[in-house]
């Protein structure tokens, strides 16, 4: 009886270890399925035309997503103008100046903001900007993405700034450098690769967002004329094409998704390996 019990326990131990290994690789199946599908379905349509031409009307083969690629870059550019200063500034404030109570309120707010569904940001910007201006616009889309960047950048910046050793700050202050100069030229510079990681991660995140753009940037089948008009974006275009009934558009959707995911993954991998390795020196 006792011997049996022991065998059972040992069996359970090994069996569960097997289950744990199995599931860890099982959860990767969707990842590989997505990547192989993207390559097999999308690669054929990714060509020079795809990057340089406008979408063609239904029924005509060919055409590309040049306007959507440029649109995404413009939207992300606008988002950076809003997200970078506020995000990095908040990070600096939290790490260098904060008093305890106000800082915990801000930290809590950023945490909560990063959990709010992206579509809610879309509604907010619609009510705030699109409705008063009576027009969907690139500006509104960029602002929606910019607001989404703030919590990601703020918290990561705070964390990496806190990793900078205090001795560096003290050394700078001892030389008579004012605090703001110390913060900008010593602390921020030491942690610059970490901050860059934060920026890359947030860019990767927002450049793939569709939901907040649905009723802010709206999408556009042509080149846009100015920032106050609707603008195309790669994820939006993929969405419209994917739910359309045309085979030709489906092919374009796969190609668009492949380009999109390549952009996102490069940003992610870049942030993860190249930059964080340089930054690892600080962590030691």
Q: Give helix then strand counts, H and E, for the chain.
A: 15, 0
User: Closer to another protein at the Cβ: 51 or 180?
Assistant: 180
CB of 94 to another protein, least distance (A): 7
Smallest separation, CB 101 to another protein (Å)? 13
* 194 vs 219, beta carbon nearer another protein: 219
Instruction: Give 13 or 52: the residue with its C-beta nearer to another protein.
Output: 13
- Residue placing its CB nearer to another protein in the complex, 191 or 209: 209
Residue 67: CB minimum distance to another protein, A? 17
Instruction: Work out how close the CB of 183 gets to another protein at its nearest, in angstroms, rounded to a whole number.
Output: 7
Between 196 and 203, CB nearer to another protein: 203
DSSP code of 116?
Answer: S
Alpha-carbon separation of residue 44 from 20, 86, 247, 259, 260 (angstroms): 38, 41, 14, 12, 15
Yes or no: say if 273 and 193 are a contact pair by the CB < 8 Å rule: no
Distance CA(149)–CA(227), nearest Å, equals 20
Rounded to a whole number of angstroms, the minimum distance from the CB of residue 49 to another protein is 21
Give the torsion sign (CA, 132, 87, 97, 116). Answer: positive
Among the listed residues 227, 92, 214, the one whose alpha carbon sits nearest the alpha carbon of residue 153: 92
Residues 242/264, Cβ–Cβ less than 8 Å: no
Q: Which helix (H) or strand (E) holds 156?
A: helix 138-163
CB of 195 to another protein, least distance (A): 14
Nearer to another protein, 30 or 57 (CB): 30
Tokens of 155: 């918290």
DSSP state of 152: H
Q: Please work out, in degrees rounded to the nearest 5, the angle formed at the alpha carbon of residue 273 by the alpha carbons of 272 and 277.
A: 105
């Amino acid at each position: 009886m006792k011997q049996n019990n022991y065998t059972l326990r040992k069996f359970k131990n090994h069996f569960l270890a097997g289950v744990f290994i199995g599931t860890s690789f099982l959860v990767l199946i969707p990842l590989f399925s997505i990547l192989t599908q993207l390559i097999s379905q999308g690669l054929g349509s990714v060509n020079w035309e795809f990057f340089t031409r406008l979408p063609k009307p239904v029924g005509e083969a060919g055409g590309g997503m040049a306007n959507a690629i440029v649109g995404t870059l413009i939207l992300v550019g606008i988002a950076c103008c809003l997200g970078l200063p506020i995000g990095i500034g908040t990070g600096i404030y939290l790490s260098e100046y904060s008093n305890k109570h106000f800082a915990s309120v801000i930290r809590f707010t950023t945490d909560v903001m990063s959990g709010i569904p992206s579509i809610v940001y879309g509604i907010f910007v619609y009510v705030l900007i699109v409705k008063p201006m009576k027009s969907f616009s690139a500006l509104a889309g960029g602002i929606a993405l910019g607001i989404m960047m703030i919590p990601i950048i703020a918290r990561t910046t705070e964390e990496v700034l806190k990793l900078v050793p205090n001795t560096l700050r003290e050394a700078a202050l001892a030389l008579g450098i004012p605090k703001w100069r110390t913060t900008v030229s010593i602390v921020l510079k030491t942690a610059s690769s970490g901050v860059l990681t934060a920026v890359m991660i947030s860019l990767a995140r927002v450049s793939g967002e569709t939901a907040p753009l649905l009723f802010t940037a709206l999408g556009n089948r042509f080149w846009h004329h100015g920032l106050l008009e609707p603008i195309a974006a790669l994820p939006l275009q993929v969405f419209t094409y994917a739910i359309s009934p045309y085979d030709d558009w489906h092919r374009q959707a796969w190609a668009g998704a492949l380009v999109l995911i390549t952009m996102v993954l490069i940003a992610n991998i870049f942030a993860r390996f190249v930059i964080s390795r340089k930054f690892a020196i600080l962590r030691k």
